[in-house]
Structure 1
Amino acid sequence: MKSHHRSTIVLAILVFALTMLACDVSSVTRLALGSTPTPAPTQTPFVITATPEPLPKSFGAITIAPVVIGADPNFKAVDAATRFPEGIGRIYALFAVDAPLKATQWRYEFHTNGQRKSNMSGYGWDVNQPGTTWSSIFSGEGLETGDWEFRLYIGDRVAQTAKFTIEKRQTGAPFFAVIRFAEDNRNDSPVNVHTPNQSFKAGTKRVWAFFDVGNLPKATNWKWEWSRDGERIPNLSGAKGWEGNATEKDWWLNISDDAGMRAGVYELKLYIGDQLAQIGVFSVDR
């Protein structure tokens, strides 16, 4: 009985082993016959690549001027120069752009006497179409004298530069100081002086120009010229011998129109003899 029981167990084990072997052989055979399912293709994600906006190859030559007229994108410089008198309150740097630009793609810097002016430098602005645009600096007390440089960058590449000088007047030389434009005159003193970037409202009938005078001998020939949008206004300009003291505070001129001054950019130039001594600019809104 015991021997028969062992035989039965051995037989059962043998049958189980043969069955498992048959399964393994069958499995191997299926692999060998190539019946493995074809793998599904891996999906490639659809990537949208934005076409980069074109950068300008360069900026056009920079023009330095005290006055800019016109409208975006066709601004124009007036009285372009590279040397300006001490006391000038505003300077424009005008340049052409040959392709649209985002503000983060370019920047500008003003330098004076070898030092970068951080408060006069920064990233640009969106330029939506090719054309001419500008940057400017201003000071109600007159811009710093010395050698200046304006730089344009595309990324970190210097793309264009221009140099100009605000000349320091010689000690003892006659001068007209910075011109201040005001809304009114009270007892020969300015009322509501406007900063160089502050326009006068539409309908303004009169603007007063105040300036200090120094070392100007009596009877010295001097002249004043008013212009609007780059065109001289002959009937408001003139010349004569100096009638005041050698030193005067708040000497004044004015420009007016009882019907309301035309909108535009106004410029006042003062000369001592034939030498340009001072420039002042303001605008009247439309």
Structure 2
Amino acid sequence: MKNWLVLIIVLGVLLGCNLPTAVTPTPFPTVTAVPLQTSTPTLAPAPTPTAVPMPILIPTATNTSLPPTAKLETAVPDTTRFTNLRFAASPNNPPQEAFPVGTAEVFALWDFAGMVNGDRVQRVWRKDGVNWLNRDEAWTAGPNGVVTDVSVYDRGLGGLEPGNYELELYVNGVLEAYGQFVILSRPATGEPVIANLRFAETPFGAPQNSFPAWTQQIFAVWDYRNMGVSDVVRREWLKDGQPWLVREETWDYLHYGPQGVVSDVSIYDFETGLPPGEYELLLSLNGVQQLAGTFTVTP
């Protein structure tokens, strides 16, 4: 055991003799860290600003420092004017506000002053509140005068339709005149009239209240006036107190006209003749009973 220990010591000595002597390294000089400039450098205090006077703009009558604003203009009517708008059956006739049924043409007449050739003139017509005709054209009639050549017309059968007509006149987009008139559904103002109901064997025969048995045809005759194109006539026949025949129709103005005598209405039986009994006719006009008449066909 001792021998082993001695051997180990000897080997250690031998090995130690071959190792280099440990050299203590010379330390690097100590470096003093110099702080780097950060991303937020310390700024030198700024000098106190000195107010520099700026030039002041003084507005004048022709120059202003205010920003432009929207320009709002109030429409001022031009000196052009249309006056005294009226309506007539012809340029030489007196003005009218109502025209009878069957009127074929109505003239619009008006005075003008201060017009300039080239002004835009628009005529807007309405019938019963609905746009009807529209005409836009350049003015060529000079500065002053009277318009007499403007009209509305229907020269066909029956003339202008009954109704309310309106006219607006514009100059360069400005309303200058307004007027209205009516085409009556009858010849004159007022209500239609039917009267004098009678019965006869012929259209122009003597009136009768009694007819022989089996008379083939009996005419109902009556007078009328101021009838119009929109009137409605209802004929209701009764036989022995019971409804027998009914007929209702709009007045045939082209056939009968506004006034006259109805002589072409009848009841008939051309095969065996009208049976005996009590006959009655009720005449209504526009939903209102106006006349009643009776006759007898004897047994």
Same fold (TM over 0.5): no
> Structure 2 length normalisation: TM-score?
0.38
Give the number of the structure with larger relative contact order, counting CA–CA contacts within 8 Å between residues 6 or more apart.
Answer: 1
> Structure 1 length normalisation: TM-score?
0.39
